[in-house]
């Protein structure tokens, strides 16, 4: 996607502008260093210096376990947003999927695998309906998916009658620890469940899809300039619709992983999840206007946002501060991104008039 | 801009009723009236003074805040922080009052804090040029976080200590009409008239419909955007203080869904995300319709869970219908020009 002028810019722009994901990667590194320093200083003040528990293997695995579900959803959101859309309904779709699975295996007597396949199909179809309306009538995706969000919450509440449903460990297979018996330096058991593997596999798959396939490049083209893409012979409407369908598939997978982790289906599982997902995506450098962004940026963004809450716990701060920290990080990330972009544009302009 | 053209060209063609039909809000007015008729036939309790009063009190705060949202959407922006700013101003007011500050001074400080939030979003969106969605999302997180930090997550009860004069604002009545409804009504009239008549507020439309053209024709776009987010936060701040007065408690979790409700209402009322379109009047009709749906489902004894589904479907239908209608209007305008 990046043309040669931008490639040349790499030499001219300062450290901050190097590469597409530099902003978010730098922020992650700064954040980690800051937390480690705080931990070292506080332990030094209290007498003896200890290894900072924030970067202990146990905690790092913990962070990635907490991030997995949001991360998978952020991959789907990246595809949708690169295609020029947005999806606010993912949070409530997650609630709906978890409740549907729990209800069908516990109360309706549908076998587990049947329920999983059924729910994935339903999620894809629901998203496709929204995608159809968005692409065919070219209505604002924001508002259609907002309507979808409200409607999905209604369906989920009607199904579960506002009660929580325990799955009684029906999905425990997804929690299987792949490195059973491995111990960290502090003697704690390390866990590396299957759903983390699923997260990583999906990340790689979507990265490959977006970067190296014809389909992925079409999504970028549609997001960058719809009319130009249309004139270039791309079926714009179908591409847009397919991004939502793909998103529905990924949300269903993420919801299954989430259900495996928490073991209980309840309406609040997905509440405000869309905000976290969009935040991770945007912090990762995906532009709200479409056509810009990549999967690894989103990956780092998800990890960054996921480690904030974790760091708050490690530092024994009031958990309420995490809202403030998240807000500040979103604003800083977006501002830094905008500044880098402005500098690149200026550098390009200066070279042109030279 | 676009809106004006539409009105003029159709003013020549149609007369009286027909030109009324071409008003953007006409369809919505019909829907609301039809809805009222249907509910009043189905439920005898609908058209009672008590029900209407509680309906109006229920939507008063949302109605005040929807002005800010409509302004933001007309500038092709969005303000997701309204709900959190509402909570922040209420919580700051409540906390200061509990600490012994005079309630009126506390309310003033609460509103100032809210305006500061608006100034932050306005600065980042107008001056730095960030995307409004993500900026206000960040500001929303900050405001909500400060709420939780101040209150440590628990509501602050005020009801027993509040002076009568302050409680009167939230719960008092003038000739049977709740004072909070009158306040909302006055703010709405001012907000709507300013947007229609005041030259400086018309700049909101120019900025929204074509930012570059507005800038080139000498409008200070940065100032307009800055102002819009400050107004939006100011109204949210006022609503937060009113919420304190009405409920007698400052809750950190109030307004969690407010932003989404307001966006739905504004868009149902004809605001377009691409900017330059919409009106305060339409947005209020949107709020009215959403409240009517809730009220009707309660009166008709339908499970509260259906309410969400119905609201969502109404939203999608309203937008799609409006879009189809707009397209048809554009086509007929084209035809007119050819003739």
> pLDDT (tens digit, 9 = 90+) per residue, B100-109?
888 899 999 9
Quick one: pLDDT band at residue B330, thresholds 50, 70, 90? Answer: confident
CA distances from B75 to A34, A187, B2, B268, B333 (A): 39, 57, 14, 17, 25
As a whole number, mean pLDDT of residues B256-271 equals 86
As a whole number, mean pLDDT of residues A272-277 equals 87
Residue A46's contacts (CB-CB under 8 Å, 6 or more residues apart) are none
Say whether A288 and B319 touch across the interface (CB within 8 A): no
Of A48-57, A72-81, A159-168, B276-285, which range is least confident?
A: A48-57
Best mutation site among B81, B84, B138 for testing chain A: the one with the most A CBs within 10 Å?
Answer: B138
pLDDT in tens, A209-234: 988 899 999 999 998 888 898 898 88
| pLDDT in the model for residue A170 | 74
Of the partner residues A138, A279, A321, the one whose CB lies closest to the CB of residue B137: A279
Q: Which residues of A touch B312 (CB under 8 A)?
A: 147-154
Whose tokens are 């703010």? That residue is B187
pLDDT at B198 over 80: yes
Residue B140's contacts (CB-CB under 8 Å, 6 or more residues apart) are A327, B80, B81, B83, B84, B85, B259
**Interface residue B294 vs chain A (CB under 8 A):** no
| pLDDT in the model for residue B84 | 93
| pLDDT in the model for residue B162 | 84
Which domains does chain A possess? 4-10+21-40+54-353 (1.10.3470)
Distance from C-alpha of B244 to C-alpha of B75, rounded to nearest angstrom = 30
Tokens of A32: 């980690």
Q: Which residues of A touch B148 (CB under 8 A)?
A: 320, 323
| pLDDT in the model for residue B20 | 58
Task: Round the average pLDDT of chain B to a whole number and report it.
Answer: 84
Q: Which residues of A touch B130 (CB under 8 A)?
A: 331, 334-335, 338
Of the partner residues A148, A151, A288, the one whose CB lies closest to the CB of residue B134: A288
Query: Which of B242 and B317 is assigned the larger pLDDT?
Result: B242
B170 strand-pairing partners: none
pLDDT in tens, B25-62: 777 888 888 888 888 888 888 888 888 888 898 899 99
Tokens of B256: 């969690």
A166 strand-pairing partners: A264
Say whether B309 and A151 touch across the interface (CB within 8 A): yes
Q: B92-97: long-range contacts at Cβ-Cβ below 8 A with a sequence spacing of 24 or more? A: B92/B150, B93/B240, B93/B241, B93/B244, B93/B250, B94/B156, B94/B158, B94/B244, B94/B249, B94/B250, B95/B150, B95/B151, B95/B156, B95/B250, B97/B158, B97/B161, B97/B162
pLDDT at B117 over 90: yes
| pLDDT in the model for residue A337 | 76
**Interface residue B279 vs chain A (CB under 8 A):** no
Distance from C-alpha of A277 to C-alpha of A279, rounded to nearest angstrom = 5
Q: Which residues of B touch A148 (CB under 8 A)?
A: 312, 316
Find, in chain B, the residue whose alpha carbon is nearest to that of A334. Answer: B130
pLDDT in tens, B135-171: 898 899 899 989 988 988 888 888 888 888 888 888 8
**Cβ-contact A288, B131 below 8 angstroms:** yes
| pLDDT in the model for residue B87 | 94
| pLDDT in the model for residue A34 | 85
Distance from C-alpha of B289 to C-alpha of B282, rounded to nearest angstrom = 10
pLDDT at B271 over 80: yes
Say whether A153 and B308 touch across the interface (CB within 8 A): yes
CA distances from A175 to A18, A108, A113, A120, B187 (A): 39, 24, 16, 20, 55
Chain B: closest CA distance from residue A328 (Å): 6
Phi, psi at residue B181, to the nearest 5°?
A: -70, -40
Say whether A151 and B312 touch across the interface (CB within 8 A): yes
Say whether B141 and A149 touch across the interface (CB within 8 A): no
The rounded percent of chain A whose pLDDT value lies above 90 is 23
| pLDDT in the model for residue B153 | 81
Distance from C-alpha of B126 to C-alpha of B128, rounded to nearest angstrom = 6
> Of A265-279, B227-241, B289-303, which has the strongest mean pLDDT?
B227-241
| pLDDT in the model for residue A17 | 41
**Interface residue A129 vs chain B (CB under 8 A):** no
Of the partner residues B146, B273, B309, the one whose CB lies closest to the CB of residue A140: B273
As a whole number, mean pLDDT of residues A24-44 equals 83
Quick one: pLDDT band at residue A12, thresholds 50, 70, 90? Answer: very low
Best mutation site among B316, B320, B325 for testing chain A: the one with the most A CBs within 10 Å?
Answer: B316
Quick one: pLDDT band at residue A47, thresholds 50, 70, 90? Answer: confident
Find, in chain A, the residue whose alpha carbon is nearest to that of B315. Answer: A147
Find, in chain B, the residue whose alpha carbon is nearest to that of A150. Answer: B312
**Interface residue A349 vs chain B (CB under 8 A):** no
Say whether B260 and A146 touch across the interface (CB within 8 A): yes
The rounded percent of chain A whose pLDDT value lies above 70 is 91
The rounded percent of chain B whose pLDDT value lies above 70 is 92
Of A229-238, A274-283, A343-352, which range is least confident?
A: A343-352
Q: How far is CA B250 from the centre of its chain?
A: 21
Of A24-33, B67-76, B208-217, which range is least confident?
A: A24-33
Among A42, A108, A67, A117, residue whose Cα is nearest residue A302: A67
Best mutation site among A151, A162, A268, A312 for testing chain B: the one with the most B CBs within 10 Å?
Answer: A151
| pLDDT in the model for residue A242 | 93
Say whether B130 and A150 touch across the interface (CB within 8 A): no
Query: Which of A110 and A5 is assigned the larger pLDDT?
Result: A110
Tokens of A227: 């009319």
pLDDT in tens, A294-304: 888 899 889 98
Quick one: pLDDT band at residue A15, thresholds 50, 70, 90? Answer: very low
pLDDT at B11 over 50: no
Q: What is the ipTM of this complex?
A: 0.77
Say whether A147 and B316 touch across the interface (CB within 8 A): yes
As a whole number, mean pLDDT of residues A342-347 equals 81
pLDDT at A93 over 90: yes
As a whole number, mean pLDDT of residues A68-76 equals 92
**Cβ-contact A269, A93 below 8 angstroms:** no
In chain B, domain spans:
57-256
Find, in chain A, the residue whose alpha carbon is nearest to that of B147. Answer: A320
Chain B: closest CA distance from residue A197 (Å): 30
| pLDDT in the model for residue B8 | 46
Chain B: closest CA distance from residue A279 (Å): 7
């Amino acid at each position: 996607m990046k043309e040669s002028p931008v490639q040349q810019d790499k030499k001219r722009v300062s450290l901050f502008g190097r590469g597409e994901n530099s902003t978010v990667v730098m922020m992650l590194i700064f954040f980690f260093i800051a937390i480690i320093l705080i931990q070292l200083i506080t332990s030094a003040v209290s007498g003896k210096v200890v290894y900072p528990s924030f970067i202990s293997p146990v905690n790092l695995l913990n962070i990635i376990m907490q991030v997995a579900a949001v991360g998978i959803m952020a991959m789907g959101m990246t595809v949708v947003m690169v295609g020029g859309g947005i999806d606010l309904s993912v949070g409530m779709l997650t609630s709906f999927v978890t409740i549907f699975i729990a209800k069908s295996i516990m109360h309706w007597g549908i076998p587990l695998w049947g329920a999983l396949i059924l729910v994935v199909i339903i999620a894809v179809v629901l998203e496709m309906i929204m995608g159809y309306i968005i692409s065919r009538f070219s209505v604002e995706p924001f508002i259609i998916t907002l309507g979808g969000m409200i409607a999905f919450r209604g369906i989920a509440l009607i199904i579960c009658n506002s009660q929580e449903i325990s799955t009684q460990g029906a999905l425990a297979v997804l929690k299987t620890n792949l490195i059973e018996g491995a111990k960290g330096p502090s003697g704690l058991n390390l866990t590396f469940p299957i759903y983390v593997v699923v997260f990583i596999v999906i990340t790689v798959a979507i990265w490959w899809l977006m970067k190296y396939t014809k389909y992925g490049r079409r999504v970028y083209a549609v997001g960058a300039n719809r009319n130009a893409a249309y004139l270039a012979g791309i079926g714009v409407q179908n591409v847009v619709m397919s991004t939502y369908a793909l998103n529905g598939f990924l949300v269903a997978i993420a919801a299954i992983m989430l259900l495996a982790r928490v073991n209980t289906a309840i309406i609040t599982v997905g509440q405000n999840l869309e905000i976290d997902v969009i935040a991770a995506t945007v912090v990762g450098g995906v532009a709200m206007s479409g056509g810009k962004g990549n999967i690894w940026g989103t990956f780092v963004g998800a990890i960054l946002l996921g480690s904030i809450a974790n760091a708050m716990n490690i530092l024994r701060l009031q958990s309420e501060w995490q809202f403030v920290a998240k807000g500040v990080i979103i604003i800083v990330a977006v501002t830094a991104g905008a500044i880098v972009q402005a500098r690149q544009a200026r550098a390009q302009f200066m070279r042109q008039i030279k | 801009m676009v809106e004006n053209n539409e009105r003029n060209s159709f003013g020549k063609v149609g007369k009286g009723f027909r030109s009324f039909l071409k008003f953007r809000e006409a369809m919505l007015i019909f829907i609301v009236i039809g809805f009222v008729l249907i509910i009043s036939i189905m439920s005898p309790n609908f058209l009672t003074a008590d029900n209407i009063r509680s309906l109006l009190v229920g939507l008063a705060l949302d109605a005040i805040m929807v002005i800010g949202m409509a302004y933001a959407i007309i500038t092709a922006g969005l303000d997701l922080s309204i709900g959190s700013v509402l909570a922040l101003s209420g919580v700051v007011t409540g906390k200061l009052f509990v600490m012994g500050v005079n309630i009126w001074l506390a309310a003033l400080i609460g509103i100032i804090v809210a305006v500061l939030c608006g100034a932050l979003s306005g600065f980042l969106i107008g001056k730095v040029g960030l995307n409004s969605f993500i900026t206000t999302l960040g500001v929303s997180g900050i405001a909500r976080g400060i709420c939780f930090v101040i209150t440590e997550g628990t509501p602050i009860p005020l009801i027993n200590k509040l002076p009568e004069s302050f409680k009167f604002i939230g719960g008092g009545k003038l000739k049977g009409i709740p004072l909070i409804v009158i306040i909302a009504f006055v703010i709405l009239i001012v907000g709507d008239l300013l947007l229609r008549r005041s030259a400086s507020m018309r700049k909101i439309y120019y900025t929204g419909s074509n930012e570059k053209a507005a800038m080139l024709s000498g409008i200070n776009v940065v100032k307009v955007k800055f102002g819009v987010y400050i107004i939006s936060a100011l109204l949210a701040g006022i609503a937060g203080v009113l919420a304190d007065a009405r409920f007698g408690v400052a809750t950190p979790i109030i307004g969690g869904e407010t932003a989404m409700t307001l966006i739905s209402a504004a868009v149902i009322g004809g605001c377009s995300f691409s900017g330059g379109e919409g009106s305060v009047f339409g947005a209020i009709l949107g709020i009215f319709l959403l409240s009517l749906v809730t009220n009707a489902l309660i009166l008709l004894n339908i499970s509260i869970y259906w309410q969400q589904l119905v609201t969502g479907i109404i939203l999608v239908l309203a937008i799609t219908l409006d879009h189809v209608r707009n397209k048809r209007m554009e086509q007929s305008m084209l035809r007119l020009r050819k003739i």
